Amino acid sequence: MNSTHPAPCTPRARRILITGADGFLGRGLVAALTRRPETDAIIALDVREVPAERQQPGVTYRVQDVRDPALTSTLQEHAIDTVVHLASIVTPGRDSNRDFEYDVDVNGTRNVLTACVAQGVRHVVVSSSGAAYGYHADNPAWLTESHPLRGNQSFAYAHHKRLVEEMLAQWRTDHPQLAQTVLRIGTILGERVDNQITALFEKPRLLAVSGSDSPFVFIWDEDVAGAITHALDGAPPGCYNLAGDGALTIHQIAARLGKRTRDLPAGLLTAALAVGSRLGLTRYGPEQLDFLRYRPVLLNTALKTVFGYTPRKTSAQALDGFVLARAQQGRPVHVGALPGPQAPYQAKA
């Protein structure tokens, strides 16, 4: 199953279980599904108890690890027909380790799939990432769903997303009765997003690698919830890049923030990261340079033409929305006037 030859549409989801439901994406999705008329039951799972002030009326909250074999019983108890699997470790804590992250990301997904098949769940929606394509110098200018997944082993998140997608592909062959929608999500921005990328934008000057455009594709958080809801409403299953139209280079991003870039040679940055890592001054090693200069740029044609969902915000509009929200929160990342329309990113031949 892929986005160019999609499976028939699935029945509309009515009894939905969400893993990672108290994560950033999960909260937005749970809120969106409470407004969906076709929803009969929402079971929100997270590894920690959700505080009462964050709970939505009519939602059943449950503390359960995605690695728990009893997940099968949870699906049976609530007669779940659709699972949305969001749980993964995006930004590990300082006390985390690679084995634990693998266990949650990969073994946790295997447990979810096993439970789904055992209980006759019809459809699973999985949040993957553009990182599954990897950060490589020979990435094409625009990545489509037909390009190979080469998530770098040096980046736990990218590598695990690749391994998960390889597992999903095997399960599509072995268990075709379980329909899959896999969303390869670009860099998420929203009114209250804080992540490794937004931290870069908050610097007085944006770090740029000399000779690299470092183009970014963005997706507004509400568009992620919108795409998942669209999948639950019977859109064709398949694998889809989820990103807004267009891309912005690091220099275009700086211009929209009213900032300048600090362009440094790759060799200098590599040496600095190596020394800083050895001395314990930074948690990032030299491999982090590829994360910045070889960004996977996702083409969303299949998302729009096959899956049938068009994001409401382009990459540029998502960045502008993020900047405006931060200003309204008293946390401005922007220091100058927003420019007028700019020429879109054009990949170099």
Catalytic residues: 157
| Tokens representing residue 43 in the block | 């079971």
Q: Tell me the C-alpha distance between 198 and 112, whole Å.
A: 31
Closest CA to 144 of 304, 309, 344, 253: 304
For 178, how many CA atoms within 13 A lie in the half-sphere containing its CB?
A: 26
Cα dihedral 307/29/19/170 (nearest 10): 10
Listed residue (112, 121, 98, 103) closest to 15, CA to CA? 121
Q: How far is CA 49 from the centre of its chain?
A: 23
Q: What is the C-alpha to C-alpha distance for residues 119 and 117, in angstroms, rounded to an integer?
A: 5
Alpha-carbon Rg for the chain in angstroms:
20
What span, in angstroms and rounded, lies between the C-alpha atoms of 289 and 332? 26
Q: Is the distance from CB of 159 to CB of 153 less than 8 angstroms?
A: yes
Give, in order, the Cα–Cα distances in Å from 32 to each of 20, 117, 291: 15, 26, 32
